[in-house]
Copies of this chain bind each other. A is one copy, B any other.
């Protein structure tokens, strides 16, 4: 059984086929969030802190932290964001950047064993990222594209993943510390995107025995009622063997689908988490429409 352990100073999270699915909160990411982007650039991280707390309250087990703002000093911004988030929550973090210097600066200040997001199958990227992942004993997300781009052939993507796992091993990084992202395309643009991911995740689990993750929201891009599509996608990916995803835990449809899929995979022992989270339908509705006050009042009665 492959267990990927990541940690903060005080908490461990384990990815594994026999474990509840790991929800990695996606919100701390200025891409497409103009206000957040402007605030972070101006040194105002209040929204980062609020997003961190809200996602953990909604059930995120890990938070992804990205500070990718054009023309900004990304290593400085990412380092600051990581430190602030670690000061307000105790969940482990995924340090997310396409700028290698930013990953390297942030990992140096991180307290615990982070998930480094990400390395690709490009030779130059592997040779720059894997050494400091190894040096810090971190885990790393392996994205299954290489110099030739993202193949539409899942078998090619499988081979890229295998190459990254092997190269990681050359650097002393064990298989369980490589979490493969099979790459999820919008289903509205490519009707085979779902089936491809399900097949690829199954092979990654059965043949490479690695844990997997993905950016889940992308699958429903452009569709109406998209959170239902994203949640349904995640449950189907879980049935195929996926063990974590970068997603938005604040959306009730997405969160509930993952929790129900945990029940159906038999990893929510005695359905205890499901029953705790869904015992009172009014409370669930209350959470969704923001009537937390009413819920608290009832709980005290």
What is A's interface to B at a CB cutoff of 8 Å? 187-188, 191-195, 198, 219, 223-225, 228-229, 231-233, 235-240, 256-257, 260-261, 263-266, 269-271, 274-275, 278-279, 281, 284
Contact = CB atoms under 8 A, between A and B. Distances in A.
A274 B223 contact: yes
B225 A271 contact: no
A269 B257 CA distance: 24
A198 B198 CA distance: 13
Q: Which 6 residue pairs spanning A and B have beta carbons closest together?
A: A194-B264, A232-B260, A236-B239, A225-B278, A191-B266, A224-B278
Contacts of A260: 228-229, 231-233
Contacts of A223: 263, 271, 274-275, 278
Given A188-B271, A194-B265, A236-B264, 12 more contacts: A191-B266, A194-B266, A223-B275, A228-B256, A229-B260, A231-B260, A232-B232, A232-B256, A232-B261, A236-B238, A236-B239, A257-B257
12 contacts: A187-B271, A193-B266, A194-B263, A195-B266, A229-B260, A229-B264, A232-B261, A232-B264, A235-B236, A236-B236, A236-B238, A239-B239
Contacts of A271: 187-188, 191, 223
Given A229-B263, A264-B219, A224 B275 contact: yes
B264 A187 contact: yes
A156 to B, nearest CB: 19
Contacts of A279: 224
Contacts of A236: 235-236, 238-239, 261, 264
Given A198-B239, A240-B239, A225 B256 contact: yes
Contacts of A198: 239
Contacts of A193: 266
A264 B233 contact: yes
